[in-house]
Structure 1
Amino acid sequence: MKTILKVIGIIVLLIVGYAIVAILAFGNNYHYEKSMVINAPKEKVWQQINSMKAFNQWNPWMKLDKNMKVTYTGNSGEVGDKYYWDSKNDDAGAGCQEIKELVLNKKQKSEMTFIKPFEGQATSEILLSSEGNSTKVTWTMDTEQETWMKIMRPMMDYQMGKSYEEGLQSLKQICEK
């Protein structure tokens, strides 16, 4: 019995130690980015990122709930182009994303407001650069994290990596047709 209590005590101590180190080591600002080269010219890739409707054709989070309610507002392909999503599924949650900046064939910047399952805000950029006859796509996200969320950062990196990889692969398939 003493051995089991020692093992449990050590596990609890390790978890508490990790939490303290994570809170002290990780800053409040969270940045994630992933890049992929697509065998298509920037102009073709641009058509898939310059509006919220086009973005949602390859957005990996749209697949989380086939019954998700999506509403578009603003002018498609212009600053102010926006969509709202609402899902009963907590993995998808609810919120909105709005285009804040467009630089023809180079950059789309958007702002996301999350309502559920957690409230929060983030910005995202999709950057295009030529690589010969191909296009390098870099997709970023920046947000400020609450102190307790720093503990989850390794898991968040893992999940963001999976989602961004899935999204960029879908974008690649669409653009390389």
Structure 2
Amino acid sequence: MLKKILLVLVVLIAAFAGYVAMQPDDLHIQRQATIAAPPAAVFDNVNDLKKWDAWSPWAKMDPNAKVGFEGPAAGKDAVFTWSGNDQIGEGKMTVVDSRPNELVDLKVDFTKPFENTSSSTFEFKPEANQTVVTWSMGGKQNFIEKAMCIVFNGKKMIGDEMDKGLAKLKTVAESGAAPAPSP
């Protein structure tokens, strides 16, 4: 009887491992929000990494995290470093491309709890008197990361945090935006 249980367990583990191995190496998550503010107001809150504390969902997970800034105050080559609790880990985020009121592209290097590099891109599109913000995250996943993503529903967890961040970005940008002109 014990041999049968072990055999079933081995088959289940092998099936799960096969399923994990068949998952794509590339992870891509995208969320979108419409913000009642001009692109410049929204862009400024993303392009200036010092302003992330006001809206980033991860900043609230560890208010005692050690943070630092390097390079220019905002835009290309601006750098944000952090070291925090188990929820946010440790790493470095660098603006690799910045086009005013259009795009902010970031390289995110995690060092703890695991090493990984990903990208995070914000696109800003004017629509009437509003701005449509598209936030995309992506990167390569190894076998363990794919398994963890399946077990803990990582895409949903990250997507939920992105939704929270966009909602807070909306609040911050709209509260600081000049009233939109009437059509």
* Pairwise CA distance, 1:7: 8.3
Corresponding residue of 1:60: 57
Corresponding residue of 1:84: 81
Judge conservation of contact 2:118–2:139 (CA < 8 Å) in 1. yes
Gapped runs of 5+ residues in structure 2?
176-183
TM-score scaled by length of structure 2: 0.85
Task: Tell me whether 1:30 sits opposite 2:33 in the alignment.
Answer: no
Q: Distance in 1 between matches of 2:143 and 2:32?
A: 28
Counterparts in 2 of 1:11 and 1:170: CA distance versus 1, 3 Å: farther
* Pairwise CA distance, 1:15: 5.2
Q: Distance in 2 between matches of 1:74 and 1:128?
A: 24
Counterparts in 2 of 1:12 and 1:176: CA distance versus 1, 3 Å: farther
Judge conservation of contact 2:20–2:143 (CA < 8 Å) in 1. no
* Pairwise CA distance, 1:76: 1.1
Counterparts in 2 of 1:168 and 1:7: CA distance versus 1, 3 Å: farther
User: Runs ≥4 in structure 1, deviation > 3 angstroms?
Assistant: 5-16
Counterparts in 2 of 1:159 and 1:15: CA distance versus 1, 3 Å: farther
RMSD of the TM alignment (CA)?
2.1
Query: Equivalent pairs: percent with the same residue?
Result: 28
Gapped runs of 5+ residues in structure 1?
none
TM-score scaled by length of structure 1: 0.88
Q: Distance in 2 between matches of 1:21 and 1:116?
A: 27
Counterparts in 2 of 1:9 and 1:37: CA distance versus 1, 3 Å: farther
